[in-house]
A and B are shown apart, each in its own frame.
Chain A
Amino acid sequence: MTTAHPVPSVPPSPSLAARTVPDGAAPAIEVVALRKAYGSTVAVRDVSFAVGPGEIFGVLGPNGAGKTTTVECLAGLRQADAGTVRILGLDPQSDPASVRELLGVQLQEAELNERMTVAEALRLYASFYEDPADTAELMDLLDLAPHRDQQFAKLSGGQKQRLSIALALVGNPQVAILDELTTGLDPQARRATWELVERVRERGVTILLVTHFMDEAERLCDRLVIIDQGVVVAAGSPAELIESVDSSRVLRLRVEPHEEPVVLEVLGGLADVGAVARAGREIEVTGTRRVLPAVVLALAERDVVPDVRTMTRSLEDVFVHVTGRTYDHTGATGPAATDDRSDTEGAAR
């Protein structure tokens, strides 16, 4: 049940929280104590989670954390070293063919013949399934209808990505795995893709969203696990995770230079204020949940009306908190990050 490797814990214990499905429904996806090594490199050390039917569930982590390996084991494309995986109660490890009709997978960097048109690709992939989706309807859903006769090579990044999602859905799956679906897209295309994922969920498809984008997970996922170095380091809903890290609030004030002494004096006398620090031309105030009204009210009494910015916590802070490292968006975790784990755990406590 529990693992030999201690996991820095954010209450509730990530491995436990991740394994329970809301409402006690039978999970659509279940991963228990998954492990996979390539030679001496352990890609997935110990990953467990369960996804309820109809959920959008996130697997979040930096590049190289073991996300894609987890997905490949789940899709039955790779043989795991240990642990079990189930999709709708079926075992893709021992019998990959059993899940093919029910599971749609959108993989990173899977292209098509560059001369194949959108409509041809959908028709071809639909022909592999016993009970395919209506390709015309799918093209409408994914805004591909205007490009139906366009060849793959001539599609934009966003269009290719939408086609890739369409191909993952063309078999009418009950479960869809979407791996890094907005990587390489511009901000507008990313937001459009997010809306699309929500539309797909409205059709009753359970979605496993694999991403290294914190904002994407925060925006889309009902629940998620954060994976780092092959281990689940945090699990829960985005709000729960963020709240669990730190219930303090941070805001920044900008005032006229001559008002500063008064402001500092006022801040020093407030019970809700924990720390005051300078941040460039601004004053950063950390305090309780009531710090914002307390500060604004107290300053108003002294006739000071500052510009106030509240600093929001994000999943990025959760990652920093549980791993003790900054989150690297660009590539694999740096050399400092791969230092021995005890350092990381120490920092996390």
Chain B
Amino acid sequence: MTTQTARTTTQGARQAGGPRRRRIAGTGWHGLRTLTLTEARLLLRDPGTVFFALFFPTVLLVGVGFAFPGMRDVITDAPPPWEGLTAVAVYVPVALATAVATVALTTLPVYFATFREKGVLRRLSTTPMKPQGLIGAHLFINLVTVCVAALLAVVVGSQVFDLAGPTNLTVVLGSFLLGILSMFSIGMLIASRAGKASTASAIGMTLYFPMLFLAGMWTPGPVMPEVVETIAGYTPLGAATQAMTTGWFGTGVPVSQLVVMAVWTVVLLPLAARLFRWS
């Protein structure tokens, strides 16, 4: 490795007055805190993104609960674990999956493609801050966004519809986390290649709606046809919804769904990192 520390750089450099400075090559993470806070503030200035990322899952859950007749009725004609639940309760894991998918497939790829399109990463490369710092800051901000959006949906949903808590919180949290990882991996894969925000948006949207379908957005819980349910179990968002449903209402550990999400992550995340274009 070349020397990175305490290199004097006075040779040949004319200084306009003042003592000659000793310059030290930085670590590349100076200002990461300012970067993260600034980016978070900028995200909050984007009303469309804020609404969809933070409030859409809550609006969806409350909207579905009130808009469709019978959603607040107790299910009587379905096998366990559905029997005895209200229809809107079954929709809670779907709302959580929506929180994950919205950020992973709409916000994240579009932001990263915008950075590339506008030359933000290129400009950052000329400063001591590594462009990886911006990527890290945004992954962190998006993670926080998903968690806040999910928490908001659950809290508001419980208040409005008097929902019961999960039977196995660990399974719900684990499934939620793996759901985030696998879905962010897909988002990052789009983000790694898309040269323009519009491309990233188009690809993201193309995946967004089929994924929401497989998560049960239009056919929640017992309403989902068996074939669709089987297929959904192999997709990251479908598996996440099924696993969270098991953790919330059922018993046992949804091993197959957890493995599916882990495999998606292990395959796609390194691929995204490898394919990532910095300019």
Contact = CB atoms under 8 A, between A and B. Distances in A.
Contact of A27 (B12, B125, B127, B128): B12
B122 A77 contact: yes
Given A100-B128, A105-B126, A174 B15 contact: yes
Given A107-B119, A110-B119, A131-B21, A171 B12 contact: no
Interface residues of A, number: 50
A100 B127 contact: yes
Q: What class of interface size applies to chain B in its complex with A? A: 35 or more
For chain A, what secondary structure do more than half of its interface residues adopt (helix, strand, loop), or is it mixed? loop
A100 B34 contact: no
B120 A111 contact: yes
B122 A88 contact: no
A124 B31 CA distance: 7
B45 A28 contact: no
Contacts of B34: 123-124, 127
A107 B11 contact: no
Contact of B128 (A53, A91, A171): A171
A25 B4 contact: no
Contacts of B119: 107, 109-111
A127 B24 contact: no
Given A109-B119, A110-B123, A204-B16, A130 B9 contact: no
Nearest to A104: B126
Nearest to A94: B2
B277 interface: no
A204 B118 contact: no
Nearest to B1: A95
A90 B13 CA distance: 12
B14 A206 contact: yes
A208 interface: no
Given A127-B34, A204-B16, A100 B126 contact: yes
A54 interface: yes
Contacts of A25: 12
Contacts of A97: 4, 25-26, 28, 128
Nearest to A77: B125
Given A28-B13, A115-B45, A126-B31, 13 more contacts: A25-B12, A53-B12, A89-B11, A94-B2, A98-B7, A107-B122, A111-B118, A128-B30, A128-B31, A128-B127, A171-B127, A203-B16, A204-B15
**Across the A-B interface, the 5 shortest Cβ-Cβ residue pairs:** A204-B16, A127-B31, A26-B12, A110-B119, A110-B123
Interface of A: 25-28, 53-54, 75, 77, 88-91, 94-95, 97-98, 100-105, 107, 109-113, 115-116, 120, 123-131, 167-168, 171, 174-175, 202-206
